[in-house]
Structure formats: C-alpha cells, structure tokens
Amino acid sequence: MDSRHFAQARRGATLHLVPDAGKESAGKESAGVDETPGSRSFKRYPLWRVLGLNGLTVAHYLVGCGAILIAYRSYPILGWPIGLAYFVFAVVQLYVLTPLVVCPGCVYRTVRGGRCASGLNLISARLCSPSPGAMGFEERSHGVICESSLCLWSLVLPVPLALPGLALSFSWLALALMVAVAVLTVIRLAVVVRRATCPHCLARRWCPVVRAGQSA
Ligand code: SF4
C-alpha cells in the first residue's frame, strides 16, 4: 500500500468507501455499511460475519490437527509434535503475524470504528501502530513465504503432513478428516472469500489477491 493510499484511506470519504461520520447513526450495525451505488463495502463487518469466519477458521485448524494426530495414532511420538506444530503455526501466522506485518498498512487500521472481515485490525491495533511503511498489499502476495502463501499453507498443510501417517497405518477416520480439510479449503476459497468477505472489503480496490481473482 503506498503512502498516497494511506493518506486517502485515512480520509475515508475521499475514496467514497467510508460513509461520512455525520451520516452514521450511532450504535447501529448498519452504520458500518457504505451504500454507495455499485458498492457495498463494510466499514464495520457485522459481528456475526466476523465470528462466523473466525469460527470456521479455528474449526479448520482443529480438524487439520485432528487429521494429523489420528493419521499417526500408531506413532504418537511423531503425531503429537507434527500436529501441535501445525496448529501453532496456523494460529500464530494468522492471529500474530498478520496483525503485525500486514494489518498496520491496511485501510481498516485507519478508519475509526472499523472492523474487517476477520476482525484482525482490532488485534493489530493492540499490538502495534498503523504504518504506511508496513508490508503493503503488493508484498503480501509476493513470494513463497509471503503472508498470503502462509495463510494458504495453513489451510492445506494437514493433508501432506497426515499422508505419511496414513501410509504407515491406514485409518478411515483420518482419511475422512483429510477430505474434510480439502472440502473446507475449497468452500473457503471459492465461496466464503469470494462472496462473503472480499466483495465487501474496503481494501479490495488495492488488494492484489482480489485483482488476480478478477482477471483470472
Ligand atoms: S482486512 Fe486483512 S489486512 Fe486489513 S486489517 Fe483485516 S486482516 Fe488485516
């Protein structure tokens, strides 16, 4: 995100993304909705959407961890370290790393009362200051270990991690959980992100992930 965007985002209304404070009716959830024609951006995502997305995310991580543990049930000395390492990686990359390295440069950190789809701007606000020099949306999607890649890895990693355990001692339950991880990943990427989160995000006009999806 460049500094020009940061300055514009701070003003909000200039971008025609954020409703004027005077138009907001205090205390109402609808106050966070930009009703600009052709756009329906959430300055403040409804709480049920935020809780639903985070519930889905944590459930995904738990199912993935469970798949690994059960796949290695005959070799717990392998299964527990791998399963727990996966879970810690998934949680830390999303709830610590993202708020520290990506969110500080996001428009949601500059909008008063804003709440993004995942609510991570609120965590970020407790961890660090907003920064126009923070990793922007461009960097977020570049490289194998960029934040977007880490986020994707956190969704799919349980499958390759559990496969060796499944080969060592087959388990229908472990296989079912691995299939569940794959299905959850597809649902998340094809339905939840594309329809429920990105289309309403204030940052979508700058987000390279959204742009890539539109040009794909
Ligand atoms: S929209 Fe993304 S980058 Fe912006 S605050 Fe939320 S999680 Fe962070």
Q: Is residue 10 part of a domain?
A: no
Give the position, in ligand 1's atom list, of the atom nearest the Cα of 201: 1
- Whole-number average pLDDT of the chain: 79
Higher model confidence: residue 17 or residue 200? 200
pTM of the predicted model as reported, rounded to 2 decimal places: 0.79
Q: How far apart are CA 73 and CA 174, in angstroms?
A: 9
The boundaries of the domain holding residue 171 are: 42-215
If we measure between CA atoms, which residue out of 12, 25, 20, 18 comes closest to residue 39?
Answer: 18
Best of 103, 112, 200 for a ligand 1 pocket test (most atoms within 8 Å of beta carbon): 103
Q: Is residue 36 one of the residues assigned to a domain?
A: no
Q: Ligand 1 centroid to 186 CA: how many Å? A: 21
For ligand 1, whether the C-beta of 102 sits within 6 Å is yes
Q: Model confidence over 139-168: pLDDT tens digits?
A: 666 666 678 888 999 999 999 999 999 999
Letter for the amino acid at 142? H
pLDDT at 39: 52
The pLDDT tens digits of the residues spanning 116-133 come to 999 999 999 999 888 765
Residue 17: per-residue pLDDT: 39
Q: Is residue 169 part of a domain?
A: yes
Q: What is the CA radius of gyration of the chain?
A: 19
Contact 63, 74 (CB under 8 A): no
204 belongs to a structural domain: yes
CA of 24 to the centre of ligand 1 (A): 22
Question: Residue 13's pLDDT band (boundaries 50, 70, 90)?
Answer: very low
Token couple for 153: 């890895």
- Ligand 1 centroid–CA 102 distance in Å is 7
State the residue for tokens 């701070």: 10
* Ligand 1 site-directed mutation target among 54, 96, 97, 124, most atoms within 8 Å of CB: 124
Neighbours of 76 (CB within 10 A): 11
| Structural domain contains residue 29 | no
Instruction: Please say if the pLDDT value at position 90 is more than 60.
Output: yes
Per-residue pLDDT, averaged over 164-183, amounts to 96
Instruction: Say how many domains are in the chain.
Output: 1
111 pLDDT more than 70: yes
In contact, 101 and 135? CB cutoff 8 Å? yes
The upper half-sphere exposure of residue 126, i.e. CA atoms within 13 Å in the direction of its Cβ, equals: 6
Q: Is 54 left (phi over 0), alpha (psi -120 to 50) or beta?
A: alpha
CB atoms within 10 A of CB 87: 20
Tell me: the pLDDT tens digits for 28-86? 333 344 444 445 789 999 999 999 999 999 999 999 999 999 999 999 999 999 999 99
Angle at CA 166, nearest 5°, toward 164 and 168?
A: 70
Measuring from atom 6 of ligand 1, which residue has the nearest CA? 116
Is residue 179 scored above 80 in pLDDT?
yes
Q: What pLDDT score does 77 carry?
A: 96
Nearest alpha carbon, ligand 1 atom 1: 116
Q: List the beta strands (DSSP E) in 34-118.
A: none
Q: What is the pLDDT of residue 34?
A: 45
The DSSP line for 189-203 is IIIIIIIIIGGG-TT
Domain-embedded: residue 21: no
Give a yes or no: residue 34 inside a domain.
no
Residue 211 has pLDDT above 60, yes or no: no
Structure letter (DSSP) for residue 42: B
Q: Is 168 within a domain?
A: yes
CA distance 88 to 8: 36
